[in-house]
Amino acid sequence: MLIDTGASVSIIHTLDPQSHPLSTGQKVGLEAFQGSHAEAYQSSKTKLLIADAAFDLSALLMTLPNSMSILGSNFLKQHGAVIDFTNSKIWFKGNGNYCVISDAHAVSAIKNPEFFEMPTHSDPRVAQIIHECTDVFGKHKHDCGRLEGEVSIPGRAHEPQKQYPIPKASESYIQNTIDSLLQQGVLRVCESTTNSPIWPVEKPDGSWRLTIDYRKLNSVTPACAPVVRETPTLLSSIPPRAKYFSSIDICNSFWNIAVELRSQYKLAFTWKDQQYTWNCLPQGLHNSPTIYHKKMAAVLKGFTKPENLLQYVDDLLLATETEEEHLSLLKELLHLLHRAGLKVNPKKCQFMQTSVTFLGMNITPEGKLPDKHKMDTIQRLNLPASKTALRSFLGLVQYQRDFIPFFADKARPLYDLLKKEVPEEDIRGEWREPHTQAFNVLKQSMMEATALLTPDPKKRFHLEVAATDTALAAVLCQERHGKLKPIAYASRVLSAVEIKFTACERHLLATFWAIEHFTYITGLQSLTLHSPHTPLNLLLKPGDTTLSSARLSKWTLMLMQRDLDITPKQTTLLPAFLLYDGEPHKCPLPSNLNLPPNPLSSDQVPGIDVYCDGSSYHDQGTPYTGFSVILPNHIVMHKCLPHSSQYAELAAIACTLERCNTEACNIYSDSAYAVNTLTMLPLYVNNGFRSSDGKALTHASLLKYIWDLLQARTLPCALVKVKGHSKGSVHSEKNSLADQCAKKAAKQADLWSPPSAPEISALTGNTPPDLVSLQKAYEPYKLVKEWHLKGKNELAPNEWAKYTILSPGDSQNQILLYQRDLPFPVVCVPPECADDFFQIFHSHPVGGHFSAEKTLHKILQSVWWPSIKDDVNSKCSSCLPCLQVNPPSCTNRSLLRSTPPAEGPWSQIQIDFIGPLPKTPGGFSHCLVVIDVFSKWIEAFPTRNQKALTAAKVLISELFSRWGLPKVVASDRGTSFTGQVFSQLQKLLDIKHELHIAFHPQSSGTVERGNRTLKTMLTKFCAEKPSTWAQMLPLCLMAIRSTPHSTTGVSPYQAMTGRLMRMPGNLLIPSATPLLQGAVTEAWVKNVAEHINEVNKFVARNIGHSKSQIKKYFDKKVRLFEYNVGDLVMVRDFGKKEHSFTPIWRGPFTVVDKASPATYLVKTVGGKGKVTLKWYHINQMKNC
């Protein structure tokens, strides 16, 4: 209860005051909050237990918005209450003794945030607008509007999650919030098959916010396409000459949107053994911001001046140049929100100010500044003791990085600390002086942040860039009042490859990175580059740089699209906010690139001509990859893996170098990829076969093998690019032959694979220099090795102690080993060697294509590298042979979906053919089986074939003429039931034909179970004379029809006729008197009709109960899973297999439609590229 000294009466909160047991029925009028009037009901006297004392309580009964009862001043005076503010205690004099309530029983300071006060403004014009728009403002904390329409939550439901323990202090706040939201209609009581746990979050004032942990639901819900603009992009669109601003926040924005009823069960959570769900869009759902932003944007389309209004989800900023325009647009905006059904939060509104807070920024006519409250928060932070605290600090300053020059370089030590393998909860063991300096420098930079100008698209932009040994930085400016002023700063660290660039190359990189980065502000506007370098010299003479031609071409194309002026930086210092000052600098062109020479020449050499090509394609859904080499005297053809045309083209060149190792040769290829890649091979060698982002190059192991072959050559070799698929020259004819042979080799030739990389010889105990050099080339290993060799005297990460040094013989051949949690030390290899070891320990026959766990275990017995676990998991999950052959981890991945119940006997039937069976003397080799879904009545007819015409004749002459026309005929997708004859029959007789999924007998469960029963019975009677099955068939049908069915509880005969079948055993019992007279017959017919109706009701109840029981036990074994449109999947191949080892899965293919959580339309690719759309059950699919 809430102790309120300002309340003159005590009030007991209840949802139904009039019907409450304590109610006397007498209504009382009250003056409530803010002078409003309310009604309550008088209650009879009751007892209130406080601690160990009982007190008499006279109170009123009413429904309170905050769901919390009130002890008013009447109770406090009556019982002599003394409030001790100093010790946060309340004393009650009860039963002659004093009673103490400490903090354990009550909250010492209670803030009442439930009701809002109307906003005020010193300007009477704004105050008048507020008065006219009173209804648009929210009245209390949980007040919300309602937008038109409902939204759904796509995707499958997630597995239910248990509620984990929550702080005891949060329970009262959660209960109050739930009670209030139930009254508001935001929540409702429910029963759901899924559940998400409550995750309360503490607010700065000590209260708690109700939030739900929807991470599991988010993982299975398809994400909406992002439409919310990033904050820097949004703020750059503020009108540059705006002087007056209004900031508006929508009350409980997500609750303004209703969730459709069929999706609400996914949002369920549990509190005190009761499940609740949201009627409205909740917080925590990853699509909620995007959904609301779209709805809000649709509302704001009616605003007359959209260029003066910024929207970020539920936050609005109105910016104008004059007061008159601002007043007019503010009034229009508030009326627009009111008509749309929205409520505005009066506590967060800022109307017509020259400085407002919006999205954590202080917006002024001079530009934007960091929010002062956030600045104060950052300055009060102590050194972080855990990774969580460090991430929190970096998150705060990262949001303001536009204000901090060289932010990336300043924050680099802290981000590096996060990457280290240190305990999540304690980083103090790894904290060093550079981390403290970085922490303090970032805090100081925030305090010194200067105002950033709002960009004006009508003015020219100025850009200055800088590049250090470790980072790039830039500042974008515009002229204002005759001076250049900053718009935004940007920075990033260099990758492992970029660090090796020369100073001029880094400056050139900085220039084009900055132009691209600031495009969100500048667009294609005119730009002036202030630079102490002349980076364009490198573009004009690309042969004098190590940069790849692809990179230079990309940058050149960017320059051609921009209106760019380059102003050399003068000795006069630029304003202090810019990055550099000093003497002008002219880049000397690099004279020595320190690259190894390329053994491959681009000019032809005297020698033999060799033509090679690679090919990778799909046939009948199966991938094939191979290559061919056209030598002067013969043709070499091989298959290869992985399935990649680029890999095949490189493999063809590697095979050529193997074959021509003693001859000078000219290698002709039409692959631009292969020629360009091998032209840059020395650069890749220099960079350790890593790309600019530090990751291993694609096909790195094959490129290393080609480099080894080239290094071993003593005769010249040339690689020449020829035009593919052309005619009229010897080169084109030979190239075309190589292409044809490559396609043929992909199916018929032997498998080719490069031999083990040289470093693998370390496993046998050898220590070739190649392994040592590889370790030296990998920077992390190099640093660890140097630390060990220096005697471990310097401070270093704890992880470095897990390494050891092996020095066999020569002191220059120290090999780095790693142990940590491994049973014994193993050799450290660079990450780019991952392909080599994966081929040996997984893809090679001795590897066996085992699971990721077993493959990792085998590799760790020999070698280790930092990302070994992620690399092995990634490669195993994308291994095509494993995808084609391995069974799915779970065969049942969808809940059992019951078919709609049949309306009665013979309303819905299922048909199927059995056969071929042993041929009878009459020529019968098949049997058409028909089963009534409701009664389980079975019919079976011997036939000579299973053609559609045969099935149609039997249905008309034997079934429809006897039992009438059914409403639905269900069958599989066999040609017997999909032909034109059968289709015309259905249309003519107006019968609905349902086709089930191919190769999924569960879809036709009734007839498939009947087939099994019939075949089992015939086998028992016809095992010795199989050709007599047609003679035994009628007797078997009689036995089935007369036997009670486990699902219906009665025999099929009784369900169809209303009486028991007279069997041979009944001949021993005297029969009843035969019916003779018509009157008696009429009474008998009436009695039978009534009996049949009772039987049908009995059957329907039993079928429903049986289905629910089967579903209950089936669903227990299900592991829920669901695909979405666009997913890549493997599908079960039910086609004829060429041999016993033909893969049973085909793909990957794309899901193009979804009929239900269990049924999907997949686009498959067959022979000659033929595209087919086919429906699959989820159990016939698996992840790719």
pLDDT at 769 over 50: no
Count how many residues are written for the chain. Answer: 1184
Q: Residue 718 belongs to a domain with what CATH number?
A: 3.30.420.10
Dist CA 590 CA 3 (whole Å): 80
Of the candidates 286, 290, 273, which has an alpha carbon nearest to the alpha carbon of residue 195? 273
Q: Token pair for residue 842? A: 């997984």
Q: What per-residue confidence (pLDDT) applies to 113?
A: 40
Q: Token pair for residue 664? A: 């000078």
Is residue 783 located within the same domain as residue 875? yes
What is the SS3 assignment for 1168? helix
94 sits in the region (left: phi over 0; alpha: psi -120 to 50; else beta) called: beta
Q: What per-residue confidence (pLDDT) applies to 543?
A: 53
User: Which of residues 734, 752, 770 is at a domain's end?
Assistant: 752
Q: What per-residue confidence (pLDDT) applies to 574?
A: 37
pLDDT at 364 over 60: yes
Is residue 1033 located within the same domain as residue 919? yes
Residue 1059: count of CB within 10 angstroms of its CB: 12
> Which of 191-200, 318-327, 534-543 is predicted least confidently?
534-543
Partners of residue 635 on adjacent β-strands: 630
Confidence band of 864 (pLDDT split at 50, 70, 90): confident
Parallel, antiparallel or unpaired: strands 968-971 and 908-914: parallel
Q: What is the pLDDT of residues 672-709, one digit of tens each?
A: 888 888 888 887 887 777 766 666 778 888 888 898 88
Confidence band of 894 (pLDDT split at 50, 70, 90): low
The pLDDT > 70 percentage for the chain reads 78
What is the Cα 48 distance to its own chain's centre? Answer: 53
Is residue 862 located within the same domain as residue 769? yes
Q: What per-residue confidence (pLDDT) applies to 501?
A: 79
Is residue 936 located within the same domain as residue 912? yes
Is residue 187 located within the same domain as residue 277? yes
Confidence band of 792 (pLDDT split at 50, 70, 90): low
Dist CA 154 CA 1124 (whole Å): 9
Is residue 621 located within the same domain as residue 556? no
Is residue 490 located within the same domain as residue 638? no
What is the SS3 assignment for 124? helix
For 561, phi then psi, to 5°, come to -90, -5
Q: What per-residue confidence (pLDDT) applies to 268?
A: 94
Q: Looking at the domain assignment, is residue 403 inside a domain?
A: no
Q: Exposure of 35 by Cβ count < 10 A (0-12 exposed, 13-18 middle, 19+ buried)?
A: exposed
Q: Looking at the domain assignment, is residue 433 inside a domain?
A: no
> Which of 249-258, 384-393, 1092-1101 is predicted least confidently?
1092-1101
Q: Looking at the domain assignment, is residue 155 inside a domain?
A: yes
Q: Looking at the domain assignment, is residue 896 inside a domain?
A: no
Dist CA 651 CA 1028 (whole Å): 63
Dist CA 242 CA 481 (whole Å): 16
pLDDT at 88 over 50: yes
User: Which of residues 550, 571, 594 is at a domain's end?
Assistant: 594
pLDDT at 571 over 50: no
* Mean residue pLDDT across the chain: 78
Enclosing domain of residue 790: 758-885
Stretch 240-266: mean pLDDT, rounded? Answer: 91
User: Which of residues 752, 787, 814 is at a domain's end?
Assistant: 752
Most distant CA atoms of the chain, gap in Å: 128
Is residue 708 located within the same domain as residue 772? no
Confidence band of 135 (pLDDT split at 50, 70, 90): confident
* CB-based contacts of 761, cutoff 8 Å, min separation 6: 768, 771
> Which of 55-64, 705-714, 935-944 is predicted least confidently?
55-64
472 within 8 A of 517, measured Cβ to Cβ: no
Of the candidates 864, 878, 756, which has an alpha carbon nearest to the alpha carbon of residue 1130? 878
Q: What per-residue confidence (pLDDT) applies to 869?
A: 87
Q: Looking at the domain assignment, is residue 546 inside a domain?
A: yes
pLDDT at 801 over 70: no
Q: Residue 1172 belongs to a domain with what CATH number?
A: 2.30.30
Partners of residue 994 on adjacent β-strands: 970
Provide the number of structural domains found in the chain: 7
DSSP conformation letters of 1007-1019:
HHHHHHHHHHHHH
The pLDDT > 90 percentage for the chain reads 15
Q: Looking at the domain assignment, is residue 422 inside a domain?
A: no
Partners of residue 249 on adjacent β-strands: 315
pLDDT at 1167 over 70: no
478 within 8 A of 462, measured Cβ to Cβ: yes
| Most confident option among 434-438, 752-756, 914-918, 1156-1160 | 434-438
Q: What per-residue confidence (pLDDT) applies to 846?
A: 62
Is residue 869 located within the same domain as residue 939? no
**The whole model's pTM is what?**
0.53
Dist CA 1148 CA 1157 (whole Å): 20
Q: Looking at the domain assignment, is residue 469 inside a domain?
A: yes
Stretch 128-132: mean pLDDT, rounded? Answer: 88
Residue type, 707: W
pLDDT at 326 over 90: yes
H-type alpha helices, 1059-1131 = 1078-1116
Q: What per-residue confidence (pLDDT) applies to 1110?
A: 61
Q: What per-residue confidence (pLDDT) applies to 1074?
A: 47
Q: At what angle do helices 672-679 and 645-659 cross, to 10 degrees?
A: 60
Sign of the torsion formed by the C-alpha atoms of 522, 527, 528 and 529? positive
Dist CA 968 CA 427 (whole Å): 69
Is residue 624 located within the same domain as residue 744? yes
Q: What per-residue confidence (pLDDT) applies to 108?
A: 30
Q: What is the pLDDT of residues 623-662, one digit of tens each?
A: 889 999 999 888 899 988 888 889 999 999 999 998 888 8
Residue type, 661: N
pLDDT at 107 over 90: no
Q: Token pair for residue 44? A: 């009879």
Is residue 729 located within the same domain as residue 629? yes
Stretch 596-608: mean pLDDT, rounded? Answer: 84
Q: Residue 89 belongs to a domain with what CATH number?
A: 2.40.70.10
Confidence band of 282 (pLDDT split at 50, 70, 90): very high
Residue type, 499: I
Is residue 619 located within the same domain as residue 550? no
Stretch 947-957: mean pLDDT, rounded? Answer: 84
Dist CA 456 CA 480 (whole Å): 10
304 within 8 A of 234, measured Cβ to Cβ: no
844 or 578: which leads in pLDDT: 844
Q: Looking at the domain assignment, is residue 406 inside a domain?
A: no
Looking up tokens 């050891």, which residue turns up? 804
Q: Residue 482 belongs to a domain with what CATH number?
A: 3.10.20.370
